[in-house]
C-alpha cells in the first residue's frame, strides 16, 4: 500500500479529540491490563502550534477500588514542520532522557495504530505546574526562588547533555554533519534566497556567524527549544521539560544560547536567564553537573545564532499563512517579530547590547 493511501486511511479514520472518549477509554483499558478506564474529560492544553497536547482525566477501576488518573496525550496538529520528528521518534527521545535523569513527564504508551484515533500519539504522565512564559516572568512569588530555579534549569540541561552518540534506541537521529554550524547557516541562507524580499540584517548575521564560528565541542543530545515556555514550574520548582520534537545531536552551547536569548525572556528582558533570573545562577547549575565553566561572553555567538534561527522560523511560519498552506492569525503575527529579532542581532554583533 502506498504512503498516500496510508495517509488517506489515517485521515478517514481521524477522530476529533473532543469526541475520542470511548476510543481512548478502550485503548487505555488495554494498556492497563484490563483495569477498566473511563475517560471522563478531554481538554486541549495551551501552546503546541506544531503538535497538540490534550489533558485526559479518567476513572480507573481495578475491581477493588476506583482511582482518578490524569495523563497527557500528545499527537500531531493539522499542520507540521519539516524538521519536527514523528511521535514515535519523540517518544523514543523522551524515554531516553527520562532514563538519563532529566526532569520530563514519564512516557507511558506509544500508539501508531490508526484504528484508535486516526493518527499517531503517545500518552505520558501529567505533571503539575505552569509553563506560561508571561506568568513565570512576572510571578512575584518567585522573587526569592529565582536563583534556585535557574540553578535547577541549568543542572537539568546538563543532565540532558550527558547523553551522547551512539545511544541505543536513538539510531534514527541523523549523525552530526562534519561542520554542523556551517550546515545550519547554509540551510538558513538557502531559505532566505527563496523569499521575494531581502533581509540584509539576517544576511549580515549569517556572515558574522561564519566569521566568528567557535571551535566545535563533542556532540551530545540537545533539546533545541529549551526555553521559558517549554518547562513546567510549581511553587518555584522545576517539574519537567516539554516539547522534544526538535531534539537531535548537536553542540551543547546551542541550548544555552537559545535559553538565554533575549527573544525568550518574555516580560523580563533584564533577566538574562530566560526572563527567570541571572545567567550566572543558570550557568553555575549547569557547571555543577557538567563540570563545564562558561561565561556570558562565550554565549554571545550562540545568542546571535538563536535570533537568526527564530527569525527564519518566524518567516517560515508567515509563509505558511501567506501561501494559503495554513491560514492562521498566529502564524501571520509571528512573521511580524522579525524586525525585533533583527534589532537584537545588530546589538549583539556590534557590541551595543542593552
**d(Cα 278, Cα 286) in Å, to the nearest integer?**
13
Q: Give 32-73 pLDDT, tens digit per residue.
A: 998 999 999 999 997 655 689 999 999 999 989 999 999 999
Question: What would the 3-class secondary structure string for 115-136 be?
Answer: HHHCCCEEEEECCCCECCHHHH
**Cβ proximity of 107 and 117 under 8 Å:** no
Per DSSP bridges, beta strands 107-111 and 121-125 are antiparallel
Query: Residue 11: is its pLDDT beyond 50?
Result: no
Triad 124, 73, 247: Cα angle to 5°: 65
Closest CA to 313 of 192, 203, 232: 192
Strands 66-76 and 107-111: unpaired
Task: Select from 29, 123, 41 the least CA-distant residue to 74.
Answer: 123
Domain extents for the chain?
3-125, 133-350
Residue 353 predicted with pLDDT over 80 = no
Residue 192 · residue 203 · CB < 8 Å: yes
Contact between 71 and 125 under an 8 Å Cβ cutoff? The reply is yes
CATH of 133-350, one of 3.90.1200.10, 1.10.1200.10, 3.30.870.10, 3.40.50.720: 3.90.1200.10
Domain 3-125, classified CATH 3.30.200.20, yes or no: yes
- Report, as an integer, the average pLDDT of 326-333: 86
Could you read off the pLDDT of 245-277 as tens digits, one per residue? Answer: 999 999 999 999 999 999 999 999 999 999 999
What is the distance between the terminal CA atoms of the chain, rounded to a whole angstrom? 58
CA distance 257 to 227: 10
* Gap between the Cα atoms of 126 and 107, Å rounded: 10
User: What is the chain's alpha carbon radius of gyration, rounded to the nearest angstrom?
Assistant: 21
Residues 170-222 pLDDT 10s: 999 998 888 889 999 999 999 999 999 999 999 999 999 999 999 999 999 99
pLDDT at 77 over 50: yes
Amino acid at each position: 500500500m502506498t504512503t498516500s493511501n496510508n495517509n488517506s486511511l489515517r485521515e478517514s479514520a481521524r477522530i476529533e479529540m473532543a469526541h475520542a472518549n470511548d476510543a481512548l477509554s478502550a485503548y487505555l483499558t488495554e494498556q492497563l491490563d484490563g483495569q477498566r478506564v473511563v475517560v471522563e474529560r478531554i481538554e486541549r492544553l495551551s501552546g503546541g502550534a506544531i503538535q497538540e497536547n490534550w489533558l485526559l482525566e479518567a476513572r480507573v477501576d481495578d475491581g477493588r477500588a476506583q482511582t482518578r488518573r490524569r495523563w497527557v496525550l500528545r499527537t500531531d496538529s493539522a499542520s507540521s514542520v519539516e524538521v519536527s520528528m514523528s511521535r514515535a521518534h519523540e517518544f523514543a527521545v523522551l524515554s531516553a532522557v527520562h532514563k538519563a535523569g532529566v526532569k520530563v513527564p514519564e512516557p507511558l504508551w506509544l500508539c501508531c495504530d490508526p484504528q484508535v484515533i486516526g493518527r499517531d500519539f503517545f500518552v505520558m504522565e501529567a505533571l503539575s505546574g505552569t509553563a506560561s512564559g508571561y506568568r513565570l516572568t512576572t510571578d512575584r512569588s518567585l522573587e526569592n526562588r529565582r536563583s534556585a530555579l535557574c540553578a535547577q534549569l541549568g543542572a537539568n540541561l546538563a543532565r540532558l547533555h550527558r547523553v551522547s552518540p551512539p545511544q541505543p534506541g536513538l539510531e534514527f537521529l541523523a549523525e552530526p554533519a562534519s561542520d554542523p554550524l556551517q550546515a545550519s547557516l547554509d540551510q538558513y541562507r538557502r531559505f532566505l534566497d527563496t523569499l521575494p524580499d531581502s533581509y540584509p540584517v539576517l544576511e549580515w548575521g549569517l556572515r558574522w556567524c561564519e566569521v566568528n564560528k567557535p571551535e566545535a565541542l563533542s556532540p551530545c543530545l540537545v533539546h533545541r527549544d529549551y526555553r521559558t515556555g517549554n518547562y513546567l514550574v510549581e511553587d518555584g520548582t522545576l517539574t519537567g521539560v516539554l516539547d522534544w520534537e526538535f531534539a537531535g545531536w548537536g553542540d551543547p552551547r546551542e541550548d544555552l544560547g537559545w535559553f538565554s536569548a533575549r527573544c525568550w525572556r518574555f516580560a523580563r528582558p533584564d533577566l538574562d536567564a530566560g526572563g527567570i533570573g541571572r545567567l550566572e545562577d543558570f550557568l553555575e547549575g549547569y557547571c555543577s553537573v557538567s563540570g563545564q565553566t562558561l561565561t556570558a561572553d562565550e554565549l554571545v555567538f550562540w545568542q546571535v545564532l538563536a535570533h537568526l534561527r527564530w527569525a527564519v522560523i518566524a518567516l517560515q511560519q508567515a509563509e505558511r499563512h501567506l501561501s494559503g498552506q495554513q491560514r492562521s492569525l498566529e502564524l501571520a503575527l509571528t512573521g511580524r517579530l522579525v524586525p525585533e529579532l533583527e534589532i537584537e542581532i545588530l546589538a549583539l554583533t556590534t557590541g551595543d547590547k542593552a
